[in-house]
């Protein structure tokens, strides 16, 4: 499988950082705690974000993220530089979180409705909208949430998602469309999806 940065990747390393990455990795392979810390500082938010969203809850996220880092540091000597380190690390984080989630019994509490009356003032729209979206994603059924995150947030293709989840790309697509529709319902609960005559009457206001 080709290892490329996901299209949705937004990481923009500061200028000059690429010069030191291989140096850091080499030091980290030798067990240098400072080098590992530097890699952690650089990539922890990205790793934590994808793991947190896959986990769907804070309580699990930190454990999953730490497990991802342990795996990555353990596997660091096998990193040959064929892909960018960030891409390699991100895939380890995704696989680690998915595997941990399979082990955990988290198939409850997914359908709880969103709290009502979440205000979205224009001046703080981005922050509150982000919070609203995160909370809605947490309430998606696990399969839908995973596909939505991997495709719409992280930018993986359906083929790549199929490999992550062990499903066909068609299944991934189907889950994605259901997830988007479910998100629409969660974000705008007063409308009734699929009910003829009501579609579009209340557009999602952002």
Positions touching other proteins (CB under 8 A) are: 8, 10, 14, 16, 19-20, 23-24, 27, 31-38, 40-42, 44-46, 48-49, 52, 58, 62, 65-66, 69-70, 73-74, 129-130, 133-134, 137, 148, 152-153, 155, 173, 176-181, 183-185, 187-188, 193-194, 196-197, 199-201, 203-204, 206
Query: Which of residues 15 and 105 has its CB atom nearest to other proteins in the complex?
Result: 15
CB of 68 to other proteins, least distance (A): 10
Query: Which of residues 108 and 192 has its CB atom nearest to other proteins in the complex?
Result: 192
Q: Angle at Cα 112 formed by Cα 45 and Cα 136, nearest 5°?
A: 35
Query: Which of residues 71 and 110 has its CB atom nearest to other proteins in the complex?
Result: 71
Query: Which of residues 105 and 124 has its CB atom nearest to other proteins in the complex?
Result: 124
CA distance 96 to 70: 10
Query: Which of residues 77 and 81 has its CB atom nearest to other proteins in the complex?
Result: 77
CA distance 182 to 114: 12
CB of 28 to other proteins, least distance (A): 8
Which residues 6+ apart lie within 8 Å of 31 measured at CB? Answer: none
CA distance 194 to 125: 28
Closest C-alpha among 175, 150, 174, 145 to residue 160: 150
CB of 41 to other proteins, least distance (A): 5
CB of 78 to other proteins, least distance (A): 14
Counting Cβ atoms within 10 Å, is residue 65 exposed (0-12), middle (13-18) or buried (19+)?
buried
What b/e readout covers 121-135, taking b as 16+ CB neighbours within 10 angstroms?
eeeeeeeeeeebbee
CA distance 186 to 55: 19
CB of 14 to other proteins, least distance (A): 6
CB of 55 to other proteins, least distance (A): 11
Number of residues in the chain: 206
Query: Which of residues 168 and 199 has its CB atom nearest to other proteins in the complex?
Result: 199
């Amino acid at each position: 499988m080709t290892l490329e940065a996901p299209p949705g990747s937004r990481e923009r390393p500061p200028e000059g950082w690429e010069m030191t990455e291989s140096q850091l990795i080499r030091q980290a392979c030798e067990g240098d705690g400072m080098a590992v810390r530097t890699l952690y500082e650089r990539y922890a938010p990205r790793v934590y974000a994808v793991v947190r969203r896959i986990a769907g809850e804070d309580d699990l996220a930190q454990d999953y993220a730490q497990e991802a880092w342990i795996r990555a540091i353990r596997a660091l000597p096998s990193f040959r530089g064929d892909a960018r380190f960030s891409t390699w690390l991100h895939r380890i984080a995704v696989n680690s979180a998915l595997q941990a989630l399979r082990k955990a019994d988290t198939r409850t509490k997914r359908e709880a409705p969103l709290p009502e009356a979440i205000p979205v003032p224009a001046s703080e729209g981005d922050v509150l909208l982000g919070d609203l979206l995160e909370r809605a994603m947490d309430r998606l059924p696990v399969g839908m949430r995973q596909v939505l995150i991997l495709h719409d947030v992280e930018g993986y293709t359906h083929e790549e998602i199929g490999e992550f989840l062990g499903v066909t790309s068609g299944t991934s697509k189907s889950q994605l469309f259901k997830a988007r529709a479910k998100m629409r319902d969660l974000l705008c609960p007063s409308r009734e999806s699929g009910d003829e005559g009501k579609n579009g009457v209340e557009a999602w206001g952002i």
